[in-house]
Amino acid sequence: GTVTRLRLSRSKKTGASKGYAFMEFESDDVAKIVADTMNNYLFSERLLKCQFLPPEKVHENLFKDCDRIFRKPSQPAVRRYNRIRSLVEKARMTQRLLRKERLLRKKLAEKGLEYDFPGFAAQALSKKRKKVKTSKKSKLNVSLSSQ
């Protein structure tokens, strides 16, 4: 039968297949035959599992962007995002997150919504550095924060 659309799920990180896909056939009868025939088929040392979904059960966004070519994120951008940040950069990021959270709480209050969430402010206050008592010979400040 004629395949109208195909969506292969891929990992955003590596671009490799996640191991499952969705196919749409022109005819429902052909799709049922394919699902029955190919179910439990041993293919490349893997067992295929095929199921027929009636058209009314297919989600409207299932084949969204199925015609688009998949492109992995560029490695320089990934390295730039994951780089180790200095204390100044961390402080700037913390201030920005706190400001955004304050604005969000203000907008919710203006709309009359009484929604309380822990947010970033609660985390920032609990991550204070504590001094651990050591012997008098070695005076070390040990940080108990995660970063």
In the structure, what pLDDT confidence band is assigned to residue 21 with cuts at 50, 70 and 90? Answer: very high
Q: How confident is the model over 19-31, as a mean pLDDT?
A: 93
Q: Is 31 exposed, middle or buried (0-12, 13-18, 19+ CB in 10 A)?
A: buried
Measure the CA–CA gap between 22 and 8, rounded to whole angstroms: 7
Q: Which pair of tokens denotes residue 56?
A: 């009314």
Whole-model pTM over 0.75: no
Secondary structure percentages of the chain, helix, strand, coil, to 5: 35, 15, 50
Residue with tokens 């970033």: 120
pLDDT digits (tens, 9 = 90+) for 99-142: 999 999 999 999 998 888 888 777 766 665 555 555 555 555 55
